[in-house]
Amino acid sequence: MDIRMVAALNTRRYRTALGLSQEAVGERIGADQQYVSVIERGGQNLTLIRLLELAEALNVRPAQLLDEDYAESAQTHRDQGS
């Protein structure tokens, strides 16, 4: 799986688990809702600084946003309609 999609799926999964909107995450990282949406669709190459900011905003370690196993389990969940 492409690293952008890994980060995208994990960002969305952690954000929704916290009950945060894209707008709320955007405010935490100094960006707008549209930027967070692009991240969650895998359309943005994240810089290291942005990855760190995003991890802090979601209360996770940066490595958790890049965990391919977690992303694949999220994708499987989505594909099954759960």
What is this structure's pTM? 0.86
CB 4 within 8 A of CB 64: no
Cα(37)–Cα(39) distance, integer angstroms:
5
Cα(18)–Cα(49) distance, integer angstroms:
22
Summarize pLDDT for 35-62 with one digit per residue, the tens.
999 999 999 899 999 999 999 999 999 9
Summarize pLDDT for 12-41 with one digit per residue, the tens.
999 999 999 999 999 999 999 999 999 999
pLDDT at 74 over 80: no
CB 43 within 8 A of CB 4: yes
Which residues have CB under 8 Å from 23's CB, separation 6+? 32, 33, 36
